[in-house]
Each structure stands twice: as C-alpha cells, then as structure tokens.
Amino acid sequence: MFEAVEELLVEHADLEKRLADPSVHADQANARKLAKRYAELTPITRTYLAWKQTGEDIAAARELAAEDPDFLAEAKASEARRDELTEELRLLLVPRDPNDDKDVILEVKAGEGGEESALFAGDLLRMYLRYAERVGWKTEIIDANESDLGGYKDVSVAVKTKGSTEPGHGVWAQLKYEGGVHRVQRVPATESQGRIHTSAAGVLVTPEAEEVEVEIHANDLRIDVYRSSGPGGQSVNTTDSAVRITHLPTGIVASCQNEKSQLQNKEQAMRILRSRLLAAAQEEAEREASDARRSQVRTVDRSERIRTYNFPENRISDHRTGFKSYNLDQVLDGDLNAVIQSCVDADAAAKLAAAQEN
C-alpha cells in the first residue's frame, strides 16, 4: 500500500509544479483536469506525511523512555494515532466513483397506491428539497405532473452544489444511494376507516451530464409536442408547448411540460435525456465489469425496495444497511444525514474489503 502512496506523492509534487507554470493555464480545460487530480491527491499526501511523522514521534518517544518512563504514554498515543492514520489511508486509496463530484437529476414517481402513493411522492420530494436546503444546495423543479389531491404522479428536480466543493463531496456522492423503491406504511388521507395501508414511490437519481459527455445525433431523436396536463385551472396550457423526446436507438424517453414555451420545455427535456443516456451507458459498463468493481450498497436494479417509512411507529428503516431510527418526522423534514451516512459507510466498507481481497 505504501509503495503506491509514494508514487502518488511523486505525482502530486509534479502536478503542483505544473500548475505553478502560467503556460499550463492557457488551456483551461487541461488546467481544470490537472487541478482536479491535484485536489484528489492532496488528502492522501497530507495523511501520508502525518503517518510518517507519527513514526518518527514513536521512535523518539521510545528512545527518551529509556531514561524517562513518562515518555511511554506519549509513545502509545502516537501508536494509536498511527493506527488511525493507517485506516484513513486505506479508505483514501479505495477507488472513488468518478461521478461523485457531479450534480444530479432526481425523479420521484408514484407507484401502486393511487392518490396515497402520489401524496407520498410529494412527501419524498419535500424531504429532498429540505435536505438540499439544509446542506446548501440549489434545487430546480424541471418537470412535474401533479395529482388531484396535491401530490405528484411524477416530478423531476435538478440538485446542484453552490460553487466549488471538495473532491468526492458533490451531490451525487450523497444522493446516489436514494435510487430505488421507497415504501410507506400509514393511514392514508383518503382512508375513512383508520386502516394502515402500504404503498410505494420510486426514486431515480442520475448524475447530470454535460453536453460533451453524451453524443446525441439529431437524426436519432423523435420530438413530439402536446398540451400539458394538470389538475386544472391555469396550470393547463392552451397551446402545444409540452415536449416529449424519444431517443430512437435506446427507446429512452424524456418529457417536460412545466415551462411556458416549447423551446424551454425542449431544453429541459434534453437535460433529462442526457442524464438518462449517461446513466444507461454507465450501467452497461458496470454490467460488463468485474463484481469487485460494483458497489454492494447501490444496486443497478432500481426496482429494489430500499427503505420503509412507518408512520405509526415514527420509524425509518433502510433495508440495505440495517439502519433504523425512530425520528421519521425529522427525516421527512430533511434530516437525512444519518440515513445517508449509513449508506456511505457501508459502501466504503464493502469497497475496502474488496480491495483487500485483491
């Protein structure tokens, strides 16, 4: 492990020297690429240098302990710190998800359960909007199809960071674990007998793709326009401004009806389509890759039931990690940190175990 770190230190020093050269910044795209790699290697370099320093501290304390036993405590403290830094290094060296710095498009779709499922989809949307607000992200609802009682049959929202973020701490790094089927157990607003019902909503999270990442040919698209639909009133357009785009080679469809103009709806639908095409390409690559490269927390099968929200017990349970807590009301108000962290920790542990096996 430490031989690999030494090589990374050499690369880090070389990148630092290159980034200090003004001529490198003439090519902004290349400069950004180098800066990103430098930022990725900096925590490894910092941790490794601290690890080496503890080795020197341990040796010095042991030498002094021969004359003064009080230094034995200092040696033990440095040994404990060295063990901590060794574990940190192992985690830092685990291959990162290349999409972790990306923003996302998050979609929530009502499932079985009719109006109750649509109301739950609305609850999930609010939960993600509140969570984004808590961590300082920007959100933008791209498309929404409301139900009669105020829920959502389906809704798409773009979630973005504000400004720069630390490597591996983008929106995708946190929200990628949310994809799957979310189940709710509660007495629906439409239930007159007070019986508990079970329904579900699906969540799809895809990293938002830049235009340069996904090549889309105009001849591969079928674009249909139609009138937007909704619960009634002013939300229903009187012109054919809604847009549905079908990518013919893959059959992937994206639509948008939220904006007032056909051009705006087309642009938003293309954003969704690019992200779906990127996700499809990456999932195909994952299927072809070895099992060791796949995440053992986040599955490609988006129909997997991942979480249950039990209202009578105020309980939330994540079925992948075993996480359970009794603060459902707070979670639905955006306090998702503990739930998501359980997925992050389980994913890191699985990747670390796979790396050690290899």
Residue pLDDT, tens place only, 237-277: 556 788 999 999 999 999 988 887 889 899 889 989 988 89
Only one residue has tokens 């808590």, namely 134
pLDDT at 304: 64
Does the pLDDT of residue 295 top 60, yes or no?
A: no
* Maximum average pLDDT range among 77-91, 199-213, 220-234: 77-91
**Sheet with 324-325, side-by-side order of all strands:** 138-146, 152-160, 104-110, 197-207, 180-186, 305-310, 315-318, 324-325
What is the rounded distance in angstroms from the CA atom of residue 315 to the CA atom of residue 109?
A: 22
CA distance 205 to 182: 13
CB 303 within 8 A of CB 180: yes
The residues, any chain, with a CB within 8 Å of residue 179's CB and separated by 6 or more, are 203, 204, 205, 298, 302, 306
State how far the Cα of 242 lies from the Cα of 239, in Å rounded to an integer. 8
Mean pLDDT across the stretch 283-295? 51
Instruction: Indicate if the pLDDT at residue 46 is higher than 90.
Output: yes
| Residue 284 pLDDT | 74
Q: Which pTM value belongs to this model? A: 0.70
pLDDT for res 298: 40
Higher pLDDT, 280 or 23: 23
User: Where do the structural domains in the chain lie, given as residue ranges?
Assistant: 3-93, 104-209+300-357, 218-288
Q: Are strands 315-318 and 104-110 parallel, antiparallel or unpaired?
A: unpaired
Give the mean pLDDT of 79-94: 88
The mean of the pLDDT values for the chain is 85
Tokens 């240098």 identify what position? Answer: 49
Task: Check whether 356 has a pLDDT greater than 80.
Answer: no
Alpha helices in 216-336 (DSSP H): 262-288, 328-332
- Residue 233: its pLDDT value, please? 42
Q: What mean pLDDT comes out for the span 31-39?
A: 87
What's the pLDDT tens digit per position in 164-174? 666 667 899 99
Average pLDDT over residues 11-25: 93
Note the pLDDT of residue 52: 92
Fold agreement between 104-209+300-357 and 218-288: no
Helix (H, G, I), strand (E, B) or coil at 225: strand
Which CATH number is correct for 104-209+300-357, 3.40.50.720, 3.30.70.1660, 3.40.640.10, 3.40.109.10? 3.30.70.1660
- Mean pLDDT of the region 291-298: 36
Domain 218-288, CATH number (from 3.30.70.100, 3.40.30.10, 3.40.50.300, 3.30.160.20):
3.30.160.20
- DSSP type of residue 97: P
